[in-house]
Structure 1
Amino acid sequence: MYFYLKPELPSVEVLREVKLQTPMRIFTQDGKLISQYGVKRRIPVSLEEVPEALVQALIATEDSRFYDHIGVDPIGVARAFLNLVTTGERGQGASTLTMQMARGFFLTREKKFSRKIRELFIALHMEQELSKDEILELYLNKVELGHRAFGFGAAAQVYYGKNLNQLDLAQIATLAGLPQAPSTLNPISRPERSKERRRIVLLRMLDEGYINRQQFDEAAQAPVTAKKHGAELALDAPYLADLIYNEMVEIYGKEIAETSGFNVYATASYDMQKAAQEAVIQNLHDYDERHGFRGPLAQLWEPLKRQAVTPSAASDSSEQSNVEPEETPAPFNENAWSVEKVTAYLDSVDEIKPLLPAVVMAVQQKTADVIIADGRMIRLTWDGLDWARPYISDQSQGDDPEYAADILAEGMLVYIRKRPQDDVWQLGQFPDATGALVALDPNDGAVKAVVGGYSFYQSQFNRATQAKRQVGSNIKPFVYAGAIESGYNLASIINDAPINQWDSSSGVAWRPQNSPAVYEGPIRMRVAMGMSKNVVSVRLLRGVGLDETVDYIARFGFDKDDIPRDETLSLGSGSHTPIEVVSGIAVLANGGFAVRPYFIERIENDLGELLWQAEPVYACNPCDTDTPSKQESAEDERDIEAMLAAEFGRQTTNTAVKAKVKQSAEQVISPQTAFLVTEMMRTAVKANGSWNNKTYWLGTGWRAKNLLQRDDIGGKTGTTNDSKDTWFSGFAGNLVATTWVGFDDASRQLGRASRNQNLVNKNPEKFNWIGNAVIGVEDGAKGAQPAWIRFMQDVLKDKPEVQKQIPEGIVRVRIDIKTGKLTKRTDHTAMFEYFKVGTEPTTYVTDDELSLPIDEENPEQPKDDDIF
């Protein structure tokens, strides 16, 4: 029979070269796991890494004579044959571990004699080709154990969220009982059957002398502690991981990408990605909460009628709004659910991190008690409730709450969250608005952080790379760059006055307006950028020419088809993605080089061998080189190509090692133009002039300088018509970043927020600076910039400032701040300004043109409340 079947049997020699299907793992640049992809979850382990108790449990349960037989156990076969003869049923398989391996690699589970005979012969072959330890190690890594876990390393993670060496005896016995029927004996799906199977495994271990009676009793009586765990992630960064996964699938195909054990390292670091995610989430909560509480998710039972607040209580409320009142026993409500019923219900409600579903169990004067799914009772103090005035519309909010009962009632299903800045539990809600953040290294385009929305698990749409939204005034740095290239300079005087242009084709006059509708008259270009004057941008476009401006803006990487062919271009009517915008800002920040964004730094195989290394272009010309010898480079390249061919059975165009020469990026604008535009962007993020001399004015992004306290920053706000999109883009340190906030429904306005006195009372010194207390119409400075500031505060807190690099061909001369002409004065009417050589002013201001000093005695600086 053997010789008859031999031609059909697979070669067992392939087992020595077997490639276990392992999932792709994605890490941050500094090696922190952020995601894992693959249908089969597998964590390969060597025999030395496996606890002895697990080996003993498997041998005792599955094959007690494993180290004695030749792959087939005659005693087991005889037992199975006897069972067949006496019962007429094939109830016992008599499979050894080796036979299970033969079936797992080459055959199916169908119960046929022909399959069993092939299984026997393959097992005999395996025992001739492999040692017992090699067979056991393959078994430990190959066997299917339920919930897509293959091998015991993965099963320990899936069921217990631990490594194998962290499991106790009860958990080891549970896993050892899974191979017989992983779908029906696993502790998640069938905990009672799993517990009984665990007892059988422990009895076998006791019979074989591997454990004593006390160990048996303790493990057999232990509770079932298994629950489904995902991969043990250092940081859940799904928007970043999804971008990398899709790129890997595009390069290698889905099957190879998911099963070849790739370790993919992102360009983003753990700290920056974490900071970006927290900044976006906090900013969206700030926006959402200043627009009011939209009410509970559901009302689970009818609360008792609210009792009126006594006058004495009301009179004390203003003085003791943050003082926890004395508790009074809540009256009995026969409608209320039991704790058991509430927690069972909460188990079915989705958790959307950082939001936890909770049910209100009791409401006091200034506090409320809520319960969460794990049964914990949490008290929400007034500090976590006082923001929740009623939401009326995006444009208006109700009265500030005075008591907890103004907000909550017994039986309400709500979300709560813990504030990251102080660990205070706070009433929360899922934000209606959404946002994005992208940060790049402007020197080579490496993406240092990317966030595509509030929650990937609610919406996989990545707004950072896919959402084309109107950019508003974020387009102005590129329009101004075109003007400088055409001969304008930072001191050029442009008329900031209303435009009224009749359009004969439509019969309507076009009247672009400043926001707010304030006009300064003749104004220097630097000031116009800092104040974000719309009509000045239109006049600059006219001065340069529409076609010329379109062509010039396209140099920054914007798709020409997305650039409008009319004068609204200068106001940001074009729609672009945040990653396109930040790439354009990178060109300005790096001196004019078009670096390309990239997400993957390198790819390694499961042995840590380098398969592919990113080869970005750099913002330098010429670039420093670090070139190995030609022979060394050629040998390395051939070695990697051979490895890839052996791994995947085909050649690949990706080579892991080439000559380490920094490739220069294309220089798309002059370094002088880039420098002058970044100078204007520096002006836009700070307070300028002198308050005492009435030359004081604020850039639209002034909060950035106030809060970051750095000189190496610059940026530009952006707000579209009716505040449907808000932006902030800028540079700081060695980073460029763009943030956007809006609704997925592009027709919905972000609206306005009125003053919430409860929030003002918390921190009056910083009211209006950042976060919930910002009032007025939502714009780039209020809606999007706070996320940018928070991100930069976090990632730059220990980083030194980057010194300003002034390129050749730039001169600095003293000018009059009113006319932009040369001046010999050294008072507040004068300042030093940068110019391209040859564009500096040549005439001096005359006496009748001078800006006269203001005779005023030291008025106070404006307070934040006064600014708006």
Structure 2
Amino acid sequence: MTPASGRQNIDPRNVNRRRDKNPWKVVVITLVTLGVVALLAVFGYFTYLYASLPKVDRLADYRPPIVSQVFGDDGSLVGEFYLERRIVVPVEKIPRKLIQAFVAAEDSNFYQHKGLDYLGIARAAVKNLLAMRKKEGASTITQQVAKSMLLTSEKSFARKFKEAILATRMEKMLSKDDILYIYLNQIYLGGGAYGVQVAAETYFGKNVEQLNLAEMAMLAGLPKAPNSYSPIKHLDRARERQAYVLERMVREGYVTQAEADHARATPIVVRSMKKVNSEQSAYFLEHIRIKLEETYGMDRLYKEGLKIYTTMNAEMQKGAFDAVVNGLKNVDKRQGFRGAVKYLGETEVDTFSKKVEDGIDTASLKQGSTYQGVVTAVDPAKGDATVRVGDRTGTISRKNMAWAGKVQLVNAWGKQDGKGKSLPLGSVVFVSVLTPDVNKQGAIFSLDQEPEAQAAVVALDPLTGAVKAMVGGYDFRRSQFNRAVQAKRNPGSAFKPIIYAAALDKGLTAATTFDDSPVEYEGGGDKAWKPKNYDNIYRGIVTMREALTNSINVVSVKILEQIGVGAAIDYAKKLGITSPLAANLTLALGSSSVTPLELTSAYAVFASGGYRTTPYFITKVEDADGKVLEETAPPVIPTFTNQSTATLTNADLPPATGAVPGGGAVPAIAPETAYIITNLMESVVTSGTGQRARALGRPVAGKTGTTNDMKDAWFVGYVPQLVAGVWVGYDQERSLGAGGSGGQAAAPIWTEFMQRALAGIPVKNFIQPADITFATINVRTGRLAREGSPGATQECFVAGTEPTAYDGEQDTPTTEENASDSDGLPEWVRAGRLPRRSESR
């Protein structure tokens, strides 16, 4: 400090030095501040994640989504509803060696760690670092359970953090066996199988406790990549993975080297446990699924393990499915071969075949099944074609494609003509398996094609209304429209028995005669309606029996005209027909649309002796704990006896039904009417349009139906124990073409089904009520005929309605009661005749 100024002397260098230090302080403070903020953010983030963790305590009551099972009338499993196909088994039921196999393969330190395997994490990190990719994971079984049960499958740090926290929590709350119980029931093991029980069924056809060490090791190898190590699709890879699991088990001391070697040498037989064929039962199951979902909701149906008992008979259902497939193929083949589905280039074959291979879940192609394949080689001289189906091959011989006519085999790639009658290399065709393949080659195929027409079959017990089988189309995967209950189609002549039954109740008899000659009716417009017979043949005077036996259209119209359209409609409603019916004479020819179930249940009234039952499908529903949620009460149908006191009772039903019958029953028509119309329809089978059904070799009643231009083909028929109806046609109405009548298209399906359905069921005659009597009549007059007279035949009547006069005699009452009009029947009805009226010829 100088005396003159009194100020301090300041060195400029010191000032600069102080200024130089200030920026560093700012930087430090900034960094510290950011660090604290970052730590607070991280802490807050982890606090948030920690707080958002789901509760672990709900795992103590492990109740995963489980299968709701559907049972048939004998208690056999016929269907399942599920989101995940899983059957939960207690840990005590799971073999200890199977548990050890999973532990050795997936988490060798499972019994030592507390949820996280730190040594495993370090080992995996080193291996992944050296490989410069993720080569090995370090998730413990506990972590896998946490992810599966409590978290999503997203790949993120947050999810891994949550997984680690939850794993440590689980280890504190649950025992090791509790964790294994959840893990082994929850894990997905490929092939649609969740849990070890369903996996054991899927791959080896066994329950889990029946597995041998070789099979256990193979299952334990699946979690890493279930599809890649599937024993069904990739047995060689599955064996490699099995060897790894066995090696790990030896290293962990769970098995000896000798046991492991023996397991490696044990043959693996891949076969699925006999389970539901959802394909053959799909329409039936879908029908009840809709009702169940409406009643119980989706969650309860798909997740809570309901037990649903149905009226389905599994053997009948399979017979119905097979009959539809075979019948439609026959109908379709009569229309000719339509050519290849499409044509592939040589480079496209592998890609196409891979897709086919992915859809085949069996070790060998199933005999009788149909697949899509590609023609990969041909021998035009020999007439053989080699077809690749997925990763398997087979041959079609000339004989096995004969139905297709002259098909040209071309040893070149791509479509060769515009007619579709050639099969060049790359042709995609349908083939049916005649002889299965061995080692994925050497199958014998026949050329096939997918039908364009559709069909429906429905069969029910006439005494209870229980629906025993139902098929609603050729392939549920292709079309879910259930034609058995949803399609309303014209029944054609299959509706005639309803008209004839109404006529019987109006006082006509089987011997009543009509003139089968052309007739003309005035219409609403300029043109008159002239009903014609199917064969354009007119037979003159015929009885009602002959008219129904030969399905004579003109006589059927005249019968309806005689009894009145209104009376016929009312009668149809009594039989259970609910669809609107045309209030005109075309009703006699089946011009009003009905569903196959509707018409079949109407025929059931005849088969039951006059009682109408309500068709039903479900007999009982229980929850997973066995509590009954609903049950169908049995119907009460009084029995009736014939002159020999034979009685049709529930004992006459197919054996081992198991289901509780139900649906309710009400008297609809007189037993005598039911018997006579049945007797008339027996003539349809023995000597009329339904003769194909004679192949059953037992009493059968039934009626064919064919609509204009053969757009619809029907056959509905029954035996005392079972009634069934068949419809065949195109969804978009068009002619079925050659062989498309009811007798040619529908009756063969009905017959094949009934032959299968009635196997082992005793032959029975239709029960004759005591009021039924027989008389010998002349079929040309409807009067009594003397024995030996030309045209004489036995005819059945309700006692008191049979003719009273012989040919050439006047009708004379036999009793004072018959002479009166107290029963309301005019004299011409008693004589079995109708008054004549003016008709055009």
Q: TM-score, normalised by structure 2?
A: 0.74
AA aligned to 1:678 is T
Alignment pair present for 1:684 and 2:679: no
Aligned match of 2:431: 416
AA aligned to 1:750 is L
Aligned match of 1:476: 496
Aligned match of 1:319: none
Q: Secondary structure at the match of 2:403?
A: coil
Q: How far apart, CA to CA, are the structure 2 residues paired with 1:554 and 1:368?
A: 58
Decide whether aligned partners of structure 1 residues 418 and 77 sit closer, same or farther in structure 2, where only a CA change above 3 A counts: closer
Aligned match of 1:632: none
Decide whether aligned partners of structure 1 residues 365 and 667 sit closer, same or farther in structure 2, where only a CA change above 3 A counts: farther
Alignment pair present for 1:369 and 2:385: yes
Does structure 1 retain, via aligned residues, the 8 Å contact 2:772–2:797? yes
CA deviation profile, 1:217-261 (whole Å, cap 9, x unmatched): 89899999999x899435742222222322321221111111112
Q: Map 1:457-468 onto structure 2 (within 5 A).
A: 457-468=477-488
Alignment pair present for 1:830 and 2:792: yes
Does structure 1 retain, via aligned residues, the 8 Å contact 2:279–2:476? no
Q: How far apart, CA to CA, are the structure 2 residues paired with 1:516 and 1:464?
A: 29
Decide whether aligned partners of structure 1 residues 199 and 663 sit closer, same or farther in structure 2, where only a CA change above 3 A counts: closer
The structural deviation recorded for 1:479 is 0.7
Does structure 2 retain, via aligned residues, the 8 Å contact 1:294–1:390? no
Q: How far apart, CA to CA, are the structure 2 residues paired with 1:409 and 1:150?
A: 44
Alignment pair present for 1:715 and 2:702: yes
Say which of 592, 599, 620 aligns to 1:602. 620
The structural deviation recorded for 1:725 is 0.3
Alignment pair present for 1:750 and 2:794: no
Q: How far apart, CA to CA, are the structure 2 residues paired with 1:11 and 1:510?
A: 78
Does structure 1 retain, via aligned residues, the 8 Å contact 2:354–2:390? no
| Percent of aligned positions that are identical | 37
Q: Map 1:152-167 onto structure 2 (within 5 A).
A: 152-157=196-201, 163-164=207-208
Q: Secondary structure at the match of 2:751?
A: helix
AA aligned to 1:682 is E
The structural deviation recorded for 1:571 is 0.5
The structural deviation recorded for 1:678 is 0.8
Alignment pair present for 1:233 and 2:276: yes
Once the two structures are overlaid, the 10-residue window that deviates more, 178-187 or 21-30, is 178-187
Aligned match of 1:701: 690
Alignment pair present for 1:536 and 2:555: yes
Say which of 387, 402, 417 aligns to 2:403. 387
Decide whether aligned partners of structure 1 residues 276 and 191 sit closer, same or farther in structure 2, where only a CA change above 3 A counts: closer
AA aligned to 1:585 is Y
Q: How far apart, CA to CA, are the structure 2 residues paired with 1:81 and 1:470?
A: 75
Q: Map 1:489-508 onto structure 2 (within 5 A).
A: 489-503=509-523, 505-508=524-527
Q: How far apart, CA to CA, are the structure 2 residues paired with 1:435 and 1:667?
A: 31
Say which of 171, 185, 209 aligns to 1:123. 171
The structural deviation recorded for 1:80 is 5.7
Alignment pair present for 1:568 and 2:611: no
AA aligned to 1:247 is K
Aligned match of 2:666: 666
Q: Secondary structure at the match of 2:667?
A: coil
Q: Map 1:382-461 onto structure 2 (within 5 A).
A: 382-389=398-405, 408=423, 410-418=425-433, 425-461=445-481
The structural deviation recorded for 1:823 is 2.9
AA aligned to 1:794 is R
Q: Secondary structure at the match of 1:728?
A: strand
Q: How far apart, CA to CA, are the structure 2 residues paired with 1:176 and 1:223?
A: 17
Q: CA RMSD in A?
A: 4.6
Does structure 2 retain, via aligned residues, the 8 Å contact 1:556–1:594? yes
Does structure 2 retain, via aligned residues, the 8 Å contact 1:9–1:122? no
Q: Secondary structure at the match of 1:540?
A: helix
AA aligned to 1:804 is F
Q: How far apart, CA to CA, are the structure 2 residues paired with 1:434 and 1:339?
A: 31
The structural deviation recorded for 1:587 is 0.8
Alignment pair present for 1:510 and 2:529: yes
AA aligned to 2:548 is M
AA aligned to 1:453 is G
Q: Secondary structure at the match of 2:456?
A: strand
The structural deviation recorded for 1:430 is 1.0
AA aligned to 2:159 is K
CA deviation profile, 1:686-720 (whole Å, cap 9, x unmatched): 12xxxxxxxxxxx1112222x2222x101101000
CA deviation profile, 1:611-646 (whole Å, cap 9, x unmatched): 5443243543699999xxxxxxxxxxxxxxxxxxxx
Q: Map 1:50-199 onto structure 2 (within 5 A).
A: 50-64=94-108, 66-67=110-111, 72=115, 76=117, 97=141, 101=145, 104-106=148-150, 110-111=158-159, 113=161, 116-117=164-165, 119-127=167-175, 132-145=176-189, 149-157=193-201, 163-164=207-208, 172-173=216-217, 175-176=219-220
Q: Map 1:764-783 onto structure 2 (within 5 A).
A: 778-783=740-745
The structural deviation recorded for 1:815 is 1.9
Q: TM-score, normalised by structure 1?
A: 0.72
AA aligned to 2:590 is G
Does structure 2 retain, via aligned residues, the 8 Å contact 1:701–1:715? yes
Does structure 2 retain, via aligned residues, the 8 Å contact 1:603–1:613? yes
Alignment pair present for 1:357 and 2:372: yes
The structural deviation recorded for 1:584 is 0.7
Q: Secondary structure at the match of 1:36?
A: strand
Aligned match of 2:39: none
Once the two structures are overlaid, the 10-residue window that deviates more, 112-121 or 52-61, is 112-121
Q: How far apart, CA to CA, are the structure 1 residues paired with 2:729 and 2:740?
A: 10
Q: How far apart, CA to CA, are the structure 2 residues paired with 1:840 and 1:534?
A: 25
Say which of 600, 614, 635 aligns to 1:582. 600
Aligned match of 1:809: 771
AA aligned to 1:701 is G
Q: Secondary structure at the match of 2:572?
A: helix
Q: Secondary structure at the match of 2:475?
A: coil
CA deviation profile, 1:433-480 (whole Å, cap 9, x unmatched): 221111111111111211112111222211111111111001101011
Q: How far apart, CA to CA, are the structure 2 residues paired with 1:625 and 1:283?
A: 33
AA aligned to 1:428 is D
Q: Secondary structure at the match of 1:111?
A: helix
Decide whether aligned partners of structure 1 residues 87 and 520 sit closer, same or farther in structure 2, where only a CA change above 3 A counts: closer
Alignment pair present for 1:741 and 2:728: yes
Once the two structures are overlaid, the 10-residue window that deviates more, 677-686 or 171-180, is 171-180
The structural deviation recorded for 1:512 is 0.8
Q: Secondary structure at the match of 1:455?
A: coil
Does structure 1 retain, via aligned residues, the 8 Å contact 2:454–2:731? yes
Larger radius of gyration: 2
Q: Secondary structure at the match of 1:843?
A: coil
Alignment pair present for 1:209 and 2:229: no
AA aligned to 1:294 is R
Decide whether aligned partners of structure 1 residues 193 and 797 sit closer, same or farther in structure 2, where only a CA change above 3 A counts: closer
Decide whether aligned partners of structure 1 residues 428 and 9 sit closer, same or farther in structure 2, where only a CA change above 3 A counts: closer
Unmatched segments (≥5 aa) in structure 1: 302-335, 392-404, 627-656, 688-698, 753-776, 850-868
Alignment pair present for 1:786 and 2:748: yes
The structural deviation recorded for 1:11 is 7.9
The structural deviation recorded for 1:592 is 1.4
The structural deviation recorded for 1:528 is 0.6
Decide whether aligned partners of structure 1 residues 342 and 24 sit closer, same or farther in structure 2, where only a CA change above 3 A counts: closer
Aligned match of 1:283: 327
Q: Secondary structure at the match of 1:247?
A: helix
Q: How far apart, CA to CA, are the structure 2 residues paired with 1:206 and 1:845?
A: 100
Say which of 506, 522, 542 aligns to 1:523. 542
Decide whether aligned partners of structure 1 residues 122 and 379 sit closer, same or farther in structure 2, where only a CA change above 3 A counts: closer
Q: How far apart, CA to CA, are the structure 2 residues paired with 1:154 and 1:834?
A: 60
Q: How far apart, CA to CA, are the structure 1 residues paired with 2:371 and 2:567?
A: 53
Unmatched segments (≥5 aa) in structure 2: 1-42, 408-419, 436-442, 641-646, 651-657, 812-841
The structural deviation recorded for 1:123 is 3.2
| Aligned residue pair count | 719
Alignment pair present for 1:294 and 2:338: yes
Aligned match of 1:592: 610
Does structure 1 retain, via aligned residues, the 8 Å contact 2:672–2:769? yes
CA deviation profile, 1:184-209 (whole Å, cap 9, x unmatched): 99899999999998777555433312
CA deviation profile, 1:492-547 (whole Å, cap 9, x unmatched): 112211111222x3111101111111111221111111111111111111111122
Q: How far apart, CA to CA, are the structure 1 residues paired with 2:342 and 2:759?
A: 42
Aligned match of 1:304: none
The structural deviation recorded for 1:661 is 10
Aligned match of 1:690: none
The structural deviation recorded for 1:210 is 2.4
AA aligned to 1:354 is S
